[in-house]
Amino acid sequence: MQHISTKKMNMSLSFDIENEELPDNGAAAQEENENETTQNEDTSISIEKLEKENQELKDKYLRLFAEFDNYKKRTVKERLDLMRTAAQETILAILPVLDDFDRAKKLADEPGSKEVFSEGANIVYHKLYAVLKNKGLEPMETHLQSFDPEFHEALTEIPAPSEELKGKIIDTIEKGYKLGDKIIRYAKVVVGN
């Protein structure tokens, strides 16, 4: 009999289990899907945020790199300019000596002059000019050139001896000089009017 009662009990349990309402798996699945969607949205938002931050960092890096590159170029240029013009003050101090040499040579070269420009003085004159030329010093050509206020300083105007000499430089009182591309002394000239 015991055997029968176990059967009855098993049947009643199975009946109870079959009739028992199971929880709705659709609601749990929907809730799980919503959680996954929220997680996906959060993940995509954080990926977009990270991509945006990455792009901003790239832009900052490129700007910083360009700024540093410009700084290096500017520093090199300034250093080269400084080296080119480092001797400018010394050369400016020597220019009056060159002027005296030029006057003495011009006076000695005039016909009938009693002044003599010795061979030794001539060698020193040419050597001094050669050394200064190697340092970048160049005299400006002015004789019979058109007057240009960017290169010449007009001390006076005189009536031009001919029509062709109007607005031209007739005489140079003091030579002008360039050091490289930079004018270190403007030529002082007399202009025909």
Looking at 48, 69, 86, the residue that finishes a domain is: 86
Other C-beta atoms within 10 Å of 192: how many?
A: 20
The pLDDT assigned to 15 comes to: 47
- Specify if 107 maps to a domain: yes
Q: Does 129 lie in the same domain as 104?
A: yes
Average pLDDT over residues 146-153: 84
Q: Does 125 lie in the same domain as 162?
A: no
Distance, in Å, from the CA atom of 72 to the CA atom of 64, rounded to the nearest integer, reads 12
Task: Give yes or no for residue 13 having a pLDDT over 50.
Answer: no
* Pairing assessment for the beta strands 187-192 and 152-158 based on DSSP bridges: parallel
* Pairing assessment for the beta strands 182-185 and 137-139 based on DSSP bridges: unpaired
H helix or E strand, kind and range, residue 96: helix 88-109
pLDDT tier at 130 (50, 70, 90 boundaries)?
A: very high
The per-residue pLDDT for range 33-65, each reduced to its tens digit, is 666 677 777 788 889 999 999 999 999 999 999
Q: Does 92 lie in the same domain as 79?
A: no
Which tokens go with 111? 């016909």
Q: Does 159 lie in the same domain as 128?
A: no
Which is nearest to 170 in space by CA: 184, 156, 181?
156
Average pLDDT over residues 118-130: 89
**Phi–psi pair at 125, nearest 5 degrees:** -60, -50
Q: Does 150 lie in the same domain as 121?
A: no
Full residue range of the structural domain in which residue 156 is found: 139-193
Q: Does 128 lie in the same domain as 144?
A: no
Give the list of residues 6+ apart from residue 116 with CB closer than 8 angstroms, or none. 108
